Structure 1
Amino acid sequence: MRTIVQILIVVIAIIAWLLFPSKQYSPTIKGRALGTTYTIKIAHVISKAKLVEIRETVRKELEDINNKMSTYLSDSELSKFNQLHSIEPFPISQKTLQVIIEAQTVSQASNGAFDITVGPLVNLWGFGPQKIKNNPSAQKIKDMLQQVGYQKLTVDPQSKTLKKAHPDLYVDLSAIAKGFAVDAVCDCLRNAGMQNYMVEIGGEIRASAFKKDKTPWIIGIESPQPGKRSVQKAVTLKGMAIATSGNYRNFRYDAKTKKRLSHTISPQTGRPISHNLASVSVISSTCMHADAMATALMVLGEKRGFELAQSLKLACYFIVHEKPGNYKILQTDAFKKLQMK
């Protein structure tokens, strides 16, 4: 009798599963990739099987991007290029090619403020894998600048190759790869039939036009207040992406002057940026463009950065230090117009 009851329970469970497949409303997928965390919110009622499928597709996509663009994996596509101390053409994948073409475009638009070859200078100042106690000498900075410059990198879209003008040229895509990854995950979601979603990787975000209930996604721009996390400005994202660059979280103290040194290094001077811009957020149609442009504007500072953003009609939100605890807000015309819609 007990065996019959157990069989009946199993049969009923199978019938229930077939007639009423398990569903979740607005599932959230979380994980780690590209040296940071990611969160994906899907505003759909989907089966657990579909959720598992999407989670695996996203995992494979992010793993593929990391295997191509990481500078921490010695056998990644980008690391192999960096290890090649030669000026011969080097074949690359379509994905890496796409990211580097966009990076070079932003470099030209910002007159070199954004530069994917600045990595050696970042490492020189102790913001790379190895930490330092003393700042580099002026001569070391001058010598390192000789092998830095986006103009020293030639991209050939036809042959899908990269070529160095200096054999020690080093490319680092960390200021644009997360944005590209956000866009790539969005493509995965759309290919899976998802229309309502929000993707965040390491603070860079892209969202669909609406949630399932036709309300827009509301994203918070973080306040640069030290020691706490709070929202400075809430913005609506309707089929757009937002990326923020700031100097209030990642820094180190100068051993001699005790002053803070920003992790953002100017490709022109070879030194940490030194101005009053605390952070800048850029809204764009792609997260890759927003990611790179936010870095460029952060390098330029509040005055030159705001002027460039206005001239390029970028939707940007600047938070500027005035005095301890006080900030000035600058919004481009495009940002104001976008938030009024």
Structure 2
Amino acid sequence: MRSNANKNIIYSIVLLLLVAIVYLYRQSNSAPKAESTVLNPNKITLTGNTMGTSYRIVYLDEEARNFQQSIDSLLLVFNQSLSTYIPESEISRFNKGDSLIYDSPFFYPVLVSSKEIFEVTEGAFDPTVGPLVNLWGFGPEGPQLNDSIRIEQLLPLINFDNIIFDEKRVKKGKSGIKLDFSANAKGYGVDISAEFLSSKGINNMLVEIGGELVARGVNESGEIWKVGISRPEEEERPENLYSVIALHNRAMATSGNYRNYYEIDGKKFSHTIDPSTGRPVNHGLLSATVVADDCITADAIATALMVLGTEKAIALQQKYGDFEIFLIYNDAEGNIGSYVSEGLEPFLSFVNN
């Protein structure tokens, strides 16, 4: 009797399970299907150091190819062309002499882009400002005394119009002039890294060097890449975001004065030097974020906006309109405010901390 009872119990349990399985199957077939937009190729992340900072590159590749060695080699050659911190780089040799015949494919394009932004910003962006940056203690030669007489001596050498170049060579129109591409070289490095990946068939990527970046395609979830803008605080706290920008097939660069400065007798000296005065800027603009088609442009314009200040920065963007801006500033009462250009508004959201 107990054996038959056990058999009946087991039979009842099995029957109930079968009923449940049939019910769940019917429910799953009758439920509406959701279309998945999630891409599922392999996600590759590369990190390393370049230009005195770090880089991070994320891309999607179904073949799971690792381009670390190629990227490092590319950036090494890039630095050998444009880094003022390398004594025998192309730019260092040009600064020591009077002219240069290009060794690499990088020097001429950065000159062309620099000339364009120099003219658009009416000199607010000027790669010949390097000697003044050094004089104020923010260059490769380290801190120096900000002697007013020395500033006046250097000012006549600060003018990109004195750089004469073509596709083969560059020369100085005035003896003693020097070049420094620290305000757009990182952006250019981002561009060439992104172009390299594109040449390998990579369509979805986020390339970042020292905070300047290019986003193309989508991330591993099939969504537009999203990048954060840090709050303008002296202590670096990357997790403390002010806003987030959705970046679709565009480049972005941010420049700010709130971290790179020094203080003497209670007075802060910004690393942003106004080429027209030879002295650090003194206004309420804390950071300028620029979104453009390429990162070399975004990087250079972001630097120029920090020279111009809030009102002139807004006027420049409204005049040309082929780039978007997001500004964080101190108003007359010392309160933090922000400005976002019309074309960027749909892609920007503020973070509540």
TM-score normalized by structure 2? 0.82
Is 2:76 the partner of 1:66? Answer: no
The alpha-carbon deviation at position 325 of structure 1 amounts to: 7.6
**Bigger Rg, which one:** 2
Give the secondary-structure state (helix, strand or coil) at the position aligned to 2:280: coil
In the alignment, which of 324, 330, 343 is matched to residue 315 of structure 1? 324
Is 2:334 the partner of 1:328? Answer: no
In the alignment, which of 229, 236, 239 is matched to residue 221 of structure 1? 229
Residue 248 of structure 1 corresponds to: 258
Residue 22 of structure 2 corresponds to: none
The alpha-carbon deviation at position 27 of structure 1 amounts to: 2.0
The alpha-carbon deviation at position 324 of structure 1 amounts to: 8.6
Letter aligned with residue 336 of structure 1: E
Q: For residues 324 and 248 of structure 1, what CA distance do their matches in structure 2 show? A: 18
Letter aligned with residue 99 of structure 1: V
Is 2:176 the partner of 1:168? Answer: yes
Pairing 1:52-131 to 2, within 5 Å after superposition: 54-84=67-97, 86=98, 89-92=99-102, 93-131=104-142
Residue 27 of structure 1 corresponds to: 44
Letter aligned with residue 73 of structure 1: I
Residues 89-145 of structure 1, C-alpha deviations (whole Å, 9 max, x = no match): 4212331100111011000000000000000000111111344474322x2111011
Pairing 1:250-269 to 2, within 5 Å after superposition: 250-254=260-264, 257-269=265-277
Residues 35-85 of structure 1, C-alpha deviations (whole Å, 9 max, x = no match): 1100001133443xx21xx1111011101100100101111111111110x
8 Å Cα contact 1:310-1:333 kept in structure 2: no
8 Å Cα contact 1:244-1:291 kept in structure 2: yes
Aligned-residue RMSD, C-alpha: 1.9
Q: For residues 146 and 294 of structure 2, what CA distance do their matches in structure 1 show? A: 37
Identity of paired residues, percent? 35
Is 2:156 the partner of 1:146? Answer: yes
8 Å Cα contact 1:209-1:237 kept in structure 2: no
The alpha-carbon deviation at position 227 of structure 1 amounts to: 2.5
Residue 270 of structure 1 corresponds to: 278
Q: For residues 326 and 25 of structure 1, what CA distance do their matches in structure 2 show? A: 45
8 Å Cα contact 1:241-1:290 kept in structure 2: yes
Give the secondary-structure state (helix, strand or coil) at the position aligned to 1:129: coil
Unmatched segments (≥5 aa) in structure 1:
1-22
Letter aligned with residue 335 of structure 1: L
Q: For residues 57 and 265 of structure 1, what CA distance do their matches in structure 2 show? A: 35
Give the secondary-structure state (helix, strand or coil) at the position aligned to 1:282: strand
The alpha-carbon deviation at position 303 of structure 1 amounts to: 1.0
Letter aligned with residue 277 of structure 1: L
Q: For residues 284 and 172 of structure 1, what CA distance do their matches in structure 2 show? A: 22
Give the secondary-structure state (helix, strand or coil) at the position aligned to 1:117: helix
Structure 1 residues 144, 308: closer, same or farther in 2, change over 3 A? same
Q: For residues 101 and 81 of structure 1, what CA distance do their matches in structure 2 show? A: 16
Q: For residues 201 and 274 of structure 2, what CA distance do their matches in structure 1 show? A: 42
8 Å Cα contact 2:57-2:208 kept in structure 1: yes
Q: For residues 102 and 192 of structure 1, what CA distance do their matches in structure 2 show? A: 25
8 Å Cα contact 2:44-2:58 kept in structure 1: yes
Q: For residues 46 and 320 of structure 1, what CA distance do their matches in structure 2 show? A: 45
Is 2:212 the partner of 1:195? Answer: no
Q: For residues 333 and 323 of structure 1, what CA distance do their matches in structure 2 show? A: 24
Q: For residues 43 and 179 of structure 1, what CA distance do their matches in structure 2 show? A: 22
**89-98 or 293-302, larger mean C-alpha shift:** 89-98
Residue 9 of structure 1 corresponds to: none
Letter aligned with residue 223 of structure 1: R
Q: For residues 108 and 142 of structure 2, what CA distance do their matches in structure 1 show? A: 31
Letter aligned with residue 100 of structure 2: F
In the alignment, which of 230, 233, 248 is matched to residue 238 of structure 1? 248
Give the secondary-structure state (helix, strand or coil) at the position aligned to 1:333: coil
Letter aligned with residue 25 of structure 1: N
TM-score normalized by structure 1? 0.85
Structure 1 residues 91, 173: closer, same or farther in 2, change over 3 A? same
The alpha-carbon deviation at position 226 of structure 1 amounts to: 3.0
The alpha-carbon deviation at position 258 of structure 1 amounts to: 1.7
Letter aligned with residue 63 of structure 1: L
